Amino acid sequence: MGRHATQSRRGAALVVAACLLASGARAEEASAACTATLSGRRVTVRPEARAFISPELDRLVRLGLAGKLEVELTLWRRRAFWFDAHVDSARLTQVLAFTSAGYLLDGRELPGGVATLELERMAWTLEARPEADEHFVIQVEVRLQVVTAASLGRMARWLTQSEPASSGTPVLGSLLRSVAEDLARKASARCDVKRQP
């Protein structure tokens, strides 16, 4: 009788995970954008994330889970007839949360909602003033994850009331990673650096 109950609870955990996976599949496509300027030796970029909060992620964040927003910015110098040259990179992590006041991004209120997230601005100072014919481009990679495979594993163990070792089956672990990946949104974009007069 005990073995059947454990299998039933494990089956319930798999059904919950599969439902989470299926519900996120119909979400609007996430996208990223940026605007960048060059003034003297200083390059400034303002990245944005659009449509990153699907209905399922919105529900999870409103229930109290925090979203981890990872932003990777790369500055490239364009080279004609050759690969672009890497100049510098930066990685930022911001936290998206929901309170009674509404959505917060790193503690800053988002009065316009979460349709377009204005991310933290980044600036680089070049070693030398660029020549008039030099051009730069910014690569932006944005990833939002609300639920991790580890937190889903803890939920599955709680649902099945099993020991940590017994919920580490390859099938369950693979399913949990798939669900966590589905509850993550990512997008990338490139933008040319415009010179200020």
Beta strands 184-195 and 31-39 are: parallel
Residue-level pLDDT, tens digit, the chain, 197 residues = 455 444 555 554 444 444 444 444 445 799 999 999 999 999 999 999 999 988 888 888 888 888 899 999 999 999 988 899 999 999 999 999 999 889 999 999 998 888 999 999 999 999 999 999 999 999 999 999 886 555 556 555 655 665 554 445 665 555 555 555 557 889 999 999 999 87
Cα–Cα distance for residue pair 183/54, rounded to 1 Å: 9
Q: What pLDDT does residue 164 have?
A: 52
Q: What is the pTM of this model?
A: 0.70
108-113 LR contacts (CB < 8 Å, sep 24+)? none
In contact, 175 and 18? CB cutoff 8 Å: yes
- In degrees, to the nearest 5, what angle opens at C-alpha 146 toward C-alphas 159 and 120? 165
Cα–Cα distance for residue pair 64/80, rounded to 1 Å: 49
Amino acid at 193: V
Read off φ and ψ for residue 187, nearest 5 degrees.
-160, 160
In contact, 38 and 196? CB cutoff 8 Å: yes
Q: What pLDDT does residue 67 have?
A: 87
